[in-house]
Amino acid sequence: KFDRKPLIAGNWKMNMDHVQGITLLQKLAWTLSDARHDYSRVETAVFPPFTDLRGVQTLVQGDKLKLVYGGQDLSPEDEGAYTGDISGAFLAKLGCAYVLVGHSERRSIHGETDELLNRKVKAAYRNNLTPVLCAGEGLEIRQAGTHVDHTLNQVRAGTVGLTSEQVCELVVAYEPVWAIGTGEVAGPQDAQEMCAAIRAELGELFDADSAAKVRLLYGGSVKAANVAAILRERDVDGVLVGGASLDAAEFANIVRFEK
């Protein structure tokens, strides 16, 4: 666990226009500039809307802010006649390190299939972006007790055809849909159970050494008050934060979680 640096990621979703985004980041930078804290112990990432990325790049470059950022989605293609899409090549050119793939809102609102998401994961690697593959079950599946199978199927389908080297770099975010934006948090043991199952599955599909390097995040109503308990779990290597990442003070407190 201690070789895997915790990743604290804020998904802004379709919030914060490019002016609001800069204000939020400046507040975050100001809050995190407290020299008493060692920010190198975690990696902090934000996922703003596409239209904010150029501004974020400018601010991050010119500032001491040790922050990385990524897109919330990418096209499976690199360029061409794909109106409205944004390619991994464009994100890389804007300095993105990461890209979210298959967030539950993309799966449900845009009908993104596992097959499409696998192509997006490959497009991310092709462009030197680290994919954050999101997976997780809805409430009905949780109640039926098939949540582990369901989530592992998504992980399996999303990683088809990857090499072990690519898997070492992979980030998987377990996000039970019933806990997203609802205030319902899966218990730390639920997060651990699923993350351990995902790691074991990746070990079977690829190899145990590579699986041990994968960072596994939990997402779903994470806030400063519950982050430490979640991150104490053995196989949970970070969090993907939605709502609470829109408040600079709250997100800074998540980044500064006390072990």
| Residue in this structure with the two tokens 């996000």, named with its chain if needed | 175
CA dist., res. 44 & res. 252, Å (int): 10
Q: Is 242 in the site for ligand PEP (CB under 6 A)?
A: yes
CB atoms within 10 A of CB 72: 22
222 contacts ligand PEP (rule: CB under 6 A) = yes
Alpha-helix runs per DSSP H in 49-103: 53-61, 88-93
Long-range contacts of residues 60-67, Cβ cutoff 8 Å, at least 24 apart: 60/25, 60/95, 61/95, 63/29, 64/29, 64/33, 65/25, 65/28, 65/29, 65/32, 66/39, 66/40, 67/25, 67/28, 67/29
Which residues inside 155-194 make contact with ligand PEP, applying CB under 6 A?
175, 180-181
Q: For ligand PEP, which is the closer residue by CB, 173 or 211?
A: 173
11 binds ligand PEP (CB under 6 A): yes
Task: Consult the annotation and say whether 161 binds a ligand.
Answer: no
Pick the catalytic residue from 43, 103, 201, 233: 103
- To the query of whether residue 77 is one of the catalytic residues in this protein, the response is no
Return the SS3 of 9.
Answer: strand
CA dist., res. 168 & res. 4, Å (int): 11
The answer to whether 221 contacts ligand PEP (rule: CB under 6 A) is yes
Q: Is 243 within any annotated ligand binding site? A: yes
Torsional class of 95: left (φ above 0), alpha (ψ -120 to 50), beta (otherwise) = left
Burial of 83 (0-12, 13-18, 19+ CB in 10 A): exposed
Catalytic residue among 175, 201, 233, 250: 175
User: Does the annotation place 158 within a ligand binding site?
Assistant: no
Q: Check whether 242 is labelled as a binding-site residue.
A: yes
Closer residue to ligand PEP in complex, CB, 200/246: 246
- Using the rule CB under 6 A, is 60 a contact of ligand PEP? no
- Please state the closest distance from residue 170 (CB atom) to ligand PEP, in A: 17
Is 75 among the annotated ligand-binding positions?
A: no
The answer to whether 204 is a known catalytic residue is: no
Q: Is 181 assigned to a binding site?
A: yes
Does position 102 interact with ligand PEP (CB under 6 A)? The reply is no
* Residue whose CB is less far from ligand PEP, 160 or 228: 228
Q: Is 219 in the site for ligand PEP (CB under 6 A)?
A: yes
- Give the residue numbers marked as catalytic: 103, 175
- Residue numbers at the binding site for ligand PEP (CB under 6 A): 11, 175, 180-181, 219-222, 240-244
Which residues are known binding-site members for substrate? 11-13, 181, 221, 242-243
